Chain A
């Protein structure tokens, strides 16, 4: 069965420091992968997505993620954190199980940016 695991429910970084949010997936077939961000009292906004092709994906707000099939990972990074990056981040996969495609979301990582 497909699954998405986000390591660390809370991550704190200093402003200007590297942001690294981890995501590992489990899928019997190569999935499509997504990172979403959620600000308080709002819905989820797509940051970036991997479908096929280039394994390094660039998204909005300076975020990027690299699909590593050998490690079944899709970690999200940003070189320099900004206060406005404080939010909850969700990794998700879109893959098939028994012919039915489904979205599976990770449990989320809350990013705190320290001044």
Chain B
């Protein structure tokens, strides 16, 4: 069974540009979450998508956005890049149902996209 894949693995951009990162979840997984990892802030939750709808959102500015497609693949977009956006962006997928019940499901992480903003 293929794991979570993220593309590209490495990306270099300059301030002011925008970037789109892609995540393909494990087959059968309908939930995709995005995290930003930096040495100073650790692992911070960006947002989670399920069935093409954003379910949860972290405390990030509106420059960070995402979407999910009908095949559960997800993209994350960052507009007007700032130097502080340099980070490892991790995607995680999990099986989940409607989410109304307190269901636990294990998250599986992709290898991440290393974004460097110059």
Which residues does A use to contact B, with CB under 8 Å?
A: 32, 34, 36, 41-46, 49, 51, 90, 94, 96, 100-108
Contact = CB atoms under 8 A, between A and B. Distances in A.
Contact of A49 (B4, B43, B106): B106
A10 B4 CA distance: 29
B90 interface: yes
Contacts of A51: 104
Nearest to A107: B42
20 contacts: A43-B4, A43-B92, A43-B109, A43-B110, A43-B112, A44-B43, A44-B90, A44-B92, A44-B109, A45-B109, A46-B108, A51-B104, A96-B102, A101-B99, A101-B103, A102-B45, A103-B45, A105-B35, A106-B42, A108-B43
A101 B101 CA distance: 9
B42 A101 contact: no
Nearest to A32: B104
B33 interface: yes
A30 to B, nearest CB: 10
Contacts of A90: 43
Interface residues of B, number: 21
B53 interface: no
A12 B112 CA distance: 26
A90 to B, nearest CB: 6
Nearest to B4: A43
A43 B111 contact: yes
Contact of B56 (A42, A43, A49, A102): A102
